[in-house]
Amino acid sequence: MKTSTSLFAATLLATLSTAAFAQEAPTTPDCTQPQPCAAAPAPLPAPAPASVAYAEPPQQPQQQPVGYAPSIDNEQYDDTGWHKPVGRRFMHGFRIGWTYVANMDKMNRIDDNGMPTSIAKEFGLKSPNMMLLGYEGFYRIVGHSWLNVLMVGNVTVAGLEQSKFIPAASGLIGFELQQSFQLGVGVNLTPDPQSPSHMIAAAGWTPSVGGIQTPVHFFIVPDTEGNHRMGATLGMSW
């Protein structure tokens, strides 16, 4: 009986020791059993395609047709470059005025009989002051600056108030300053058999009234015999 009790106690002690050892030993995973799979990581989003910057092609100069010339109406100019081309403008109009003949009674001429005479007797003039009527045209070469060039031609008739018809024609070349003041010289022709041609010099001012110009000119026709002519004219040109 004592022996049986000792055997039972030894068996119980061995059993408890085996259980305690089993709890302290580390657990070795069983590779033969299927293990639960870890959750797969979420796929990364596909990268967005890189944008490609396309550079615009350089602008090619526009080809102009042969003979093309750019407009110069609004082009700016300076003293170092080409300026606008020379412009031209023709204007014309009537003239009315007065003329004076110096030394009208001076006996400085020879008549058809070879006798001394005066210009008053030769043309039958009663007064050295005469009215002028005429028509004038001038060709203005515009320089687009302070100086223009003028070519002037006119015809006049004097002596109508004395019942005389004395024609004359003149041609002048001159200059126009600041589009207002004119100065010119040229030739004057009259139906005078002894002195048919003379020099003429003229100067004047031409103010503008809208599209009409109103020239005021003074002239002188020198004469070697002393019968100088001088006068003034007023008119309108368009």
Whole-number Å distance between alpha carbons of 221 and 201 = 7
pLDDT at 82 over 60: no
Q: pLDDT (tens digit, 9 = 90+) per residue, 95-143?
A: 999 999 999 999 999 888 889 999 999 999 999 999 999 999 999 999 8
Give Cβ neighbours of residue 179 (< 8 Å, ≥ 6 apart): 148
Q: Are strands 87-101 and 229-235 parallel, antiparallel or unpaired?
A: antiparallel
Residue type, 171: G
Q: Rounded to whole angstroms, what are the CA distances from 183 to 88, 145, 173?
A: 18, 17, 8
Over pLDDT 70: what percentage of the chain? 63
Q: What is the pLDDT of residue 74?
A: 47
Closest CA to 110 of 219, 49, 193: 193
Q: How many degrees, rounded to 5, is the angle at CA 217 between CA 211 and CA 220?
A: 160
pTM, full prediction:
0.64
Question: Dihedral sign, CA of 194, 190, 234, 206?
Answer: negative
Give residue limits of the domains in the chain. 87-235
Given a contact cutoff of 8 angstroms between Cβ atoms, the answer to whether 99 and 132 are in contact is: yes
Answer CATH for 87-235 from 3.10.450, 3.40.720, 2.40.160, 1.10.3450? 2.40.160
